[in-house]
Amino acid sequence: MTDQSEPGNESPARRAHARAVAASSKGARVRMPAAQRREQLIAIGRQLFAERGFDATSVEEVASRAKVSKPVVYEHFGGKEGLYAVVVDREVRSLLDRIAAALTAGHPRELLEQAALALLDYIDEEPHGFQVLVRESPALSPGGNFSSVMNDVAHQVEHILGAEFRSRDLDPKLAELYSQALVGMVALVGQWWREARKPKKEMVAAHLVNLAWNGLSHLEAKPKLLTRPR
């Protein structure tokens, strides 16, 4: 992964996008330092890939929105494929970092809550980034899609489940199966919730954990989160 985020409360992409909007409102080309221009192009590409997908996005439109010539885009990324790769790389890292940072609890149920909430937070706060990941990836980027990201998350969950299985004298080899099942469930519900937006994400996470932790035969009537009260 080659693109590094800058420190601060806002992501580089968001800061660059805000500057791009301000520059565009002036109706003229604005000279920017190379690093700032790169961030602007990434922000614009991210939005276009989210709205239209890879195939329907063109270098011409990226350049037009940035109010630069096409050679500027080629100079920074070598073409649409390079820009797409950088955008996806950032989104993959952002989502995985969120989930890794969220897994701080000691109890497996709380860890499951934290993982579910981290994904729902990302969907809620980064809709363009999530849309980029869930769209069908071009053949040139087989690893840059939501399925591959969730597979990485499942491997993290597998280690947690493996330790829990061993402590209960269960076969740790089954941890991989259960991790794929749990992460797949959360991922599909997350995609559904992106459109539905009901109920609140904390309630969605609570019900996901209710099903995963208690099973259908032991569902709680009114599940509540331990890590983030509603």
H/E/C letters for each residue in the chain?
Answer: CCCCCCCCCCCHHHHHHHHHHHHHHCCCCCCCCHHHHHHHHHHHHHHHHHHHCCCCCCHHHHHHHHCCCHHHHHHHHCCHHHHHHHHHHHHHHHHHHHHHHHCCCCCHHHHHHHHHHHHHHHHHHCHHHHHHHHCCCCCCCCCCCHHHHHHHHHHHHHHHHHHHHHHCCCCHHHHHHHHHHHHHHHHHHHHHHHHHCCCCHHHHHHHHHHHHHHCHHHCCCCCCCCCCCC
pLDDT, one tens digit per residue, over 163-174 is 888 888 888 899
CB 134 within 8 A of CB 147: no
Please give the pLDDT value at position 11.
Answer: 57
Please give the pLDDT value at position 216.
Answer: 63
Whether 144 shows a pLDDT value over 80: the answer reads no
Backbone angles phi, psi at 114, to 5 degrees: -65, -40
Q: pLDDT tier at 6 (50, 70, 90 boundaries)? A: very low
Please give the pLDDT value at position 162.
Answer: 87
Whether 149 shows a pLDDT value over 70: the answer reads yes
CB 77 within 8 A of CB 31: no
Instruction: Tell me the pTM.
Output: 0.76
CB 223 within 8 A of CB 210: yes
CB 144 within 8 A of CB 88: yes
CB 21 within 8 A of CB 39: no
Burial of 105 (0-12, 13-18, 19+ CB in 10 A): middle
pLDDT, one tens digit per residue, over 204-215 is 999 999 998 898
Whether 181 shows a pLDDT value over 70: the answer reads yes
CB 79 within 8 A of CB 57: no
CA pair distance 16, 18, nearest whole angstrom? 5
Burial of 45 (0-12, 13-18, 19+ CB in 10 A): buried
144, 49, 6, 94: CA torsion to nearest 10 = -40
Rounded mean pLDDT of 189-196? 93
